[in-house]
Chains A and B, each alone.
Chain A
Amino acid sequence: MQNKEEINRLKNLVQDLLDESKKQGATSAEAGLSVDNGLSVTARLGEVETIEHHCDQGLGITVYIGKKKGSANTNDLSPNSIKETVKAACSIASFSNEDEFSGLPDKDSLAVEFPDLDRNHPWNLDAETAINLAVECEDSARSFDKEINNSEGATINSHQGIRVLGNSLGFLQGYQSTRHSMSCSVLGERDGEMQRDYWYSVSRKAEKLESATEIGTKAAERTIKRLGARSLSTRQCPVLYSSEVASGLIGSLIGAISGGSLYRKSSFLLDALGTKILPEFIHIHEQPHLKMALGSSVYDAEGVSTIARDIVKEGVLQGYVLSSYSARKLGMKNTGNAGGVHNLTVDSSTNDFFAMLKQLDTGLLVTELMGSGVNGVTGDYSRGASGFWVESGQIQYPVEEITIAGNLKDMYKNIVSVGNDVDYRGNIRTGSILIEQMAVAG
């Protein structure tokens, strides 16, 4: 159920902001407003640890005086604050330079149809119920195995909010959405060595969350599997990214074909449009209109229609990820990606996780990555890793304190297979990814 009355109240506030901008001399403007309410409850060692009541609101305005741009935001929605915020934005615009590429998106690119993407499923959750659920979740983790001996707790989060976006071209839209999650993190100990792992589930609808028991059990299972980890000697070997970490590989690709990296020439995939950057069997597409999905949106952060499209087809790059500014700067067409991509899917093979292990044969299965060692300009890649050593398709023992390194351009080309064990929890949906060879240091 959409709360039309409240959405309309906030739409009126956004219209006030746009009107005030015009009054203060802006030639065009874009304004956004969001309110968010939530409850977050953590239980640890069988009892409630924290109850947090969240309540956030904020508005932001971007004004253009000709081709000069200024932005301001505040969390005070009073009429006086609106005036002051617009004034601050206009003052900044008056000091910035003419930028021929800046400005609102073209009017004909703005969304005109607004199908319901089924993003709003409020959870009537009181603190008591949340505590019980969190305790149940943590209990199933703690009772899983006697080697589980400590806990960081289980957390239930439930948020609902309204977002409104408007601009001086007449665009004014708002929608309500929800986001709920449950997570659990526990510790295990063997021979004086401690390990910790976690699991979580997230959805727009509470009923779609994995059960408390499932989440707790998975968290415990993952922790137990890590006990007894050792390092590896330095070597070259094939590497299988489990689906939880494989999305990061695709995330780096999206970063490299995003407008900002391209027009700054700070991407390792410059001028790659129409060229083969991945093996022929790889297809990546964007699906902005999936019902209930976390990345779904009818329009992007500028109000531009999002489009279902292929980004990579048969390994060949079909399109960049552009906002109106970066599109103009590159002399290309806006792709409706101001603010990022919407539900990116990497098509998978028929291989399930075990078939992927078999294909890996002997090599490294990576389940966790650490640090920020990805250079977006050169594609050089070097990150801390932990996971499992695999021989003849069978997991042998957990490994840690190792690094994996390569260059993303080569890594993409050397993808051997994508599994059907897709992780649907994020905006990038992919199964596990097998890479032919990387440098492992230990």
Chain B
Amino acid sequence: MDTLNQVKQSILTPFGMQEKDIDQIMDSMLSVSADYADIYFQSTHFESWSLEAGIIKEGSHSIEQGAGVRVVSGDKTGFAYSDRIELSVLLEAANNVKAIARQGQNAQNNLKKTSNWKSYYESVNPLKSLADQEKIDLLRRVDIETRKLDNRIEEVMVSLVGVHEKVLIANQDGSLVADIRPLTRMNVTVILEENGRREQGSMGGGARKDYSYFLDQDKAVEYGKEAVRQAIVNLEAIDAPAGNMTVVLGPGWPGILLHEAIGHGLEGDFNRKGTSAFSHMMGKRVASELCTVVDDGTLEGRRGSLNIDDEGMPTEKTILIEKGILKGYMQDRLNARLMGVQPTGNGRRESYAHLPMPRMTNTYMLPGSHDPSEIIKSVKKGLYAKNFGGGQVDITSGKFVFSASEAYLIEDGKITNSVKGATLIGNGPEVLTKVSMVGNDLELDAGVGTCGKEGQSVPVGVGQPTIKIDGLTVGGTSV
């Protein structure tokens, strides 16, 4: 059975709804002058398992479904949703949102089925990909293998999460499209103690794949090893330096720099409204010519990938910055229409109960020509940051932060002492202009990213090669 029929059968049929009911709701919404209208049906099955103190402590399971209806007129949006997928309820919701439309062109309702896009992940159900017993055996094995690694380990926590999401999107431009989106995530956290000093290490990964992803090359056990390695490094860390200095960022997850420093600032809504530090900078230099940055929702099985976005648009690989020049914004339908450009497949929403807006997918920098060791060698005094926690940006002032969780001093071209975690702060439109070397070692992150915007969380990916930034403020305590 194709995806569309499969999703219709699991979202509409159990609640006694049919395709003609969707037509009726759409007709009702389009009885006023609207530029755009859509109905978003979603069903999400979620489970989590957690191990702590050597035992499977708890698990949880969740089933949620619902539908959101939206009418857009000019730059005005009316929105309502319900967790009851019933014709009468959704007609009432449609009636409520119509009030927003007082102007705009009359859109045509002409529902037809399209399924014309590539697929970047399989429509599998991760929750069924292992028996429950196999899931907890996996957690136990990770616990046992991790504890063997070091006798200073005080605590090991392991978690496993799986999501099976189905969406069905009808809109007035004549399409009814569906997507089945698997998502899995695993995490290992360890606490080590030595001479009264305690440190934590944490590593995880995930993908739009089923649980076999964690068994492949024994990734799950590798997460444990990596968590222990990080905790040991932290046990030896000295105070981080404070002040402006040369910073080398390692490959992979440090790409959170791109997400915070430029990614959010290049989302269409902020630029249409002129609230971003990057507003009106299209075609201008915002990075050194070594930098080419893309947002790519089409990577096979990645956490940030989507076959179609939450407005039914196929995802794309969008060039944001090419050789240092700002080339493109990320768009949803509303902002693309108002800015007179094409949508880029970046219209995303946390769930049926949230409005879509332009969001990142997988954001990364293309590789350059330098060997990473050359980059380190070129630094007389600076910081090498290998791993990070979260970040944040003020899109208007352009100021952004991201917090290093594993970092080292660079002295005379060599990596020396590890230093305690520290926040790095910079200015988005400026930081990439200071990139003076880009490595040939592009890596994407392990699949752990979650991005928050206006209270909505969505899974994302980041990546980059090793890069050298000539001057970034490091927030240590050692003044």
Q: Give chain A's interface residues, CB within 8 Å of chain B.
A: 44, 47-58, 69-76, 81, 84-85, 88-89, 91-92, 95-99, 102, 127, 150, 152, 187, 193-196, 226, 229, 231, 234-236, 264-266, 370-373, 375, 377-378, 380, 382-384, 386, 400-407, 439-442
Contact = CB atoms under 8 A, between A and B. Distances in A.
A365 B191 CA distance: 35
Contacts of A72: 60-62
16 contacts: A53-B79, A72-B62, A74-B64, A76-B64, A85-B61, A92-B58, A92-B60, A95-B56, A98-B55, A234-B243, A265-B154, A370-B394, A382-B475, A384-B475, A402-B425, A442-B473
Contact of A371 (B52, B82, B273, B402): B402
Contacts of A229: 397
A373 B394 contact: no
Q: Which of A89, A377, A382 gathers the greatest number of chain B CB atoms within 10 Å?
A: A382
A378 B199 contact: yes
Contact of A401 (B157, B274, B355, B427): B427
A49 B76 contact: yes
A281 B390 CA distance: 35
A74 B400 CA distance: 37
Contact of B136 (A69, A95, A375): A95
B75 interface: yes
Nearest to B57: A99
Interface stretch (B16-24, B94-102, B221-229, B313-321): B94-102
B60 A70 contact: yes
Judged by DSSP, the binding face of A is: strand
B403 A234 contact: no
B446 to A, nearest CB: 19
A152 B240 CA distance: 37
Contacts of B421: 373, 375, 380, 382
Nearest to A236: B479
Secondary structure of the B contact surface, majority rule:
strand
A195 B277 CA distance: 9
Given A74-B63, A150-B275, A442 B244 contact: yes
A400 B398 CA distance: 11
Contacts of A405: 240, 242, 422-423, 475-477
Given A371-B401, A375-B421, A383-B423, A69 B57 contact: yes
A187 B396 contact: yes
Contacts of A404: 475
B353 interface: yes
Given A73-B62, A265-B154, A51 B99 contact: yes
B370 interface: no
A150 B273 contact: yes
A96 B56 contact: yes
Nearest to A438: B477
A187 B395 CA distance: 11
Chain A CB within 10 A, most for which of B76, B393, B426: B76
Contacts of B368: none
Contacts of B78: 50-51
A330 to B, nearest CB: 13
A402 B242 CA distance: 10
A147 B445 CA distance: 42
Among A53, A56, A69, the most chain B Cβ lie within 10 Å of the Cβ of A53
B59 A47 contact: no
Contact of A74 (B62, B154, B391): B62
B93 interface: yes
B57 A96 contact: yes
B333 interface: no
Given A47-B76, A52-B355, A76-B65, 12 more contacts: A52-B80, A53-B79, A55-B83, A75-B63, A150-B273, A264-B191, A371-B401, A372-B389, A373-B389, A375-B420, A403-B475, A441-B476
B315 to A, nearest CB: 25
B155 interface: yes
Contacts of A70: 58-61
Interface string B196-212: 00111000000000000
Given A52-B79, A378-B199, A75 B403 contact: no
Contact of B240 (A52, A58, A95, A382): A382
B300 interface: no
A95 B80 contact: no
A75 B66 CA distance: 9
A441 B471 CA distance: 13
A185 to B, nearest CB: 9
B399 A441 contact: no
B470 interface: no
Given A380-B421, A382-B422, A441-B242, A50 B56 contact: no
B280 to A, nearest CB: 10
Contacts of B65: 75-76
Interface centre among B79, B396, B422 (most CB of A within 10 A): B396
Interface in B414-433: 420-423, 425-427
Contact of A370 (B49, B80, B425): B425
